[in-house]
Amino acid sequence: GENVEQHPSTLSVQEGDSAVIKCTYSDSASNYFPWYKQELGKGPQLIIDIRSNVGEKKDQRIAVTLNKTAKHFSLHITETQPEDSAVYFCAAISGGSYIPTFGRGTSLIVHP
């Protein structure tokens, strides 16, 4: 089955810095890669996603890149703000499936 590795497990940055979270996946059939933000006491919320026919996608301060050859994808957050502090999860889903495999999460701490 699919295996998703996520790094780092904890990321601490100063307000205004950029943050990068990286994930690798094992199943070459995976073709959909969503990213979720989970705040304390809440369920995960989709923040951005990318499909395998696209190499990069951007939404304001958030961007995701995908390297299909290397089987890795990354989340980039620019101009971080304290409200970006949360746990971020990547996930991978195979084209023939609807079952997402999640990474173990990255706790992002943005210091004011």
List residues near other proteins by CB under 8 A. Answer: 4, 6, 32, 34, 36, 41-46, 49, 89, 91, 93, 97-105
Q: Which is nearer to other proteins, 77 or 105 (CB)?
A: 105
Whose CA is closest to 78, among 27, 18, 25, 24? 18
**Separation between Cα atoms, residue 12 and residue 30, nearest integer Å:** 30
- Alpha-carbon dihedral sign for residues 16, 111, 45, 103: positive
Residue 23 CB, shortest distance to other proteins, in Å, is 10
Q: Which is nearer to other proteins, 40 or 70 (CB)?
A: 40
Residue 16 CB, shortest distance to other proteins, in Å, is 28
- Alpha-carbon dihedral sign for residues 110, 63, 91, 25: negative
Query: Are the C-beta atoms of 65 and 76 separated by less than 8 Å?
Result: yes
Q: Which is nearer to other proteins, 46 or 61 (CB)?
A: 46
Residue 98 CB, shortest distance to other proteins, in Å, is 3
Residue 15 CB, shortest distance to other proteins, in Å, is 26
